A and B are shown apart, each in its own frame.
Chain A
Amino acid sequence: MNEDRELPLFEIPRGAEVYTVSELTEEVRATLEGAFDAELAVRGEISNFKHHAARHMYFSLKDEAAVLRCVFFHPANARLRFAPADGLEVVARGRLGVYPPQGSYQLYVSSLALRGEGELMAALERLKKKLAAEGLFDDERKRPLPRFPRRMGVVTSPSGAAFRDIRNVLARRWPGITIILRPAQVQGEGAAGDVARAIADFDEAGAADVLIVGRGGGSLEDLWAFNEEVAVRAIAASRTPTISAVGHEVDWTLADFAADVRAPTPSAAAELAVPVKEDVRADVAQMRRGAVAAAAEYIAGAREGVTAARGSYGFRVVPRRVDERRQHVDETAARASRGVGHALVAFRGRYAEAAGAFRALSPAATLARGYNVASRDGRTVKRAAQAGAGERLTLNFADGRRAVDVIDGEAEDIAQKS
């Protein structure tokens, strides 16, 4: 260019040697897009990441000296298994293109991956902090497990070791329980979403008293679904008490923080979920023995009370009361006999014994046998010596009373004669 030449005041563009903006841009586009492969890969650090309304993602990839603008459209970006954020080192694959309205070139991203496991852990930490700040891992949110679940929901792969282990432990500890499996994909793309849907299904159907969600051991990548936001949120939101059971003892995923209880393994989850039936059976048996013993002791005490009381009271009241008691005891013996087990049979035996004692002791029974009993002023007169000549006594028969006067104070002692 001739810098000495004066800058022209005006110029009339003539023909093909002067481009329009669009024409130049179009040539740039053709040249640029033709120069690169249909798909290329670029690594760099994410900056200026924007993701409005969960739609398209706009960001830049940068290194020390340059910046590349990127766009990752929805719905393709929904398949991402981590949350992109500024600072993350990634590898982006896509097509280089020109965007005429902005006069810029950009990478139309088709896939995005974290560069190395270090980045994976960094992304994980970031997500953990975000969810913790929302309170998803708070203790207050955690639901207590029911002590005796009748229906155990399980979200796992039907063919994996986890389901087999859970079944075995449950069948051993609490046979008779109902296990409800909702098969789910537990690794790879789509697994997190499937696990989330499975948990929602259990809530919607109200089908389980408690859930075990998990899988057997594997690599970080194998377990990754349980670190993905959609699965972790679903576990936190579950209205059914949920136990996480992912991998081995040393494996911790975000799902473990979100669950109501974390189990180190699927077998351990089943152990946490149900008690040992035999232990409970023994407790119940012990309680039943306690009840029988206490009731029998009560009866024994009552019987002694009857023996002590037999010699005193007036007749008008006691015979009727004792009859009522006898009927009560008979009814109880009948009820007791409907029970099960030796203990209840023994109990009935004791009741019958008490009933027999009541009956034998009953003054009404004595009268019914034909004897009569003398009384004065409501008190029994048991000895001739207590009845003097001229006294008025009452003779009590089974069917009524008669007033009598004592004529002779010296009647023979009948007992001595026989």
Chain B
Amino acid sequence: MPKKAKATFEEDLARLAEIVAALEEGPETLDEMLALYEEGVAITKRLQEVLNEAETKIKKLSRDVNGELEVEDYDEAG
């Protein structure tokens, strides 16, 4: 179990804004600046992965033969 749950898109976006503000304010040291910038690069990459998803997926919620709920691909004809 990871110690920290993966950040949501919303959380990443907010953190990126914080990083930009911190960089614009002027970090204390080169190390701090590099750390902030590197974090910004990682976050931007994650955000862009979501932004670049282009295929809208349609699924269906239904109960299987045992009465259990499951999410499966949606067959338009069915």
Indicate whether A and B interact: yes
Task: List chain A positions with a Cβ less than 8 A from chain B.
Answer: 146-148, 150, 153, 167, 170-171, 175-183, 198, 201-202, 204-205, 207, 277, 280-281, 283-284, 287-288, 290-291, 294-295, 298, 302, 325, 328, 332, 335-336, 338-340, 344
Q: Is the CB of B51 within 8 A of A281?
A: yes
Q: How many A-B residue pairs have CB under 8 A?
A: 115
Q: Is the CB of B56 within 8 A of A176?
A: yes
Shortest CB-to-CB span from B58 to chain A, Å, is 5
Can you spell out 9 A-B residue pairs with CB atoms less than 8 angstroms apart? A146-B10, A148-B13, A167-B58, A182-B61, A284-B47, A287-B16, A288-B44, A291-B20, A291-B40
* Besides the known contacts A147-B10, A175-B55, A335-B34, 13 further A-B residue pairs in the complex with CB atoms under 8 A apart: A148-B9, A153-B61, A178-B58, A179-B57, A180-B61, A181-B60, A182-B61, A201-B61, A283-B13, A291-B23, A291-B36, A339-B41, A340-B44
Q: How far is the CA of A287 from the CA of B74 in the complex (A)?
A: 38
Q: Is the CB of B56 within 8 A of A298?
A: no
Chain A interface SS verdict (over half):
helix
Query: Of all chain B residues, which has the CB nearest A328?
Result: B30
Q: Is the CB of B71 within 8 A of A180?
A: yes
Q: How far is the CA of A182 from the CA of B17 in the complex (A)?
A: 37
User: Which of A179, A202, A295, A340 is within 8 Å of B33, CB to CB?
Assistant: A295
Shortest CB-to-CB span from A172 to chain B, Å, is 9
Query: Of all chain B residues, which has the CB nearest A331?
Result: B34
- 5 residue pairs, one from A and one from B, having the closest CB atoms: A176-B53, A294-B23, A182-B61, A205-B69, A171-B56
Shortest CB-to-CB span from A181 to chain B, Å, is 5
Which residues of chain A have C-beta atoms less than 8 A from B45's C-beta?
A: 340
Q: How far is the CA of A252 from the CA of B18 in the complex (A)?
A: 42
CB contacts under 8 Å to A, within B35-78, are: 36-38, 40-41, 44-45, 47-48, 50-63, 69-71, 74
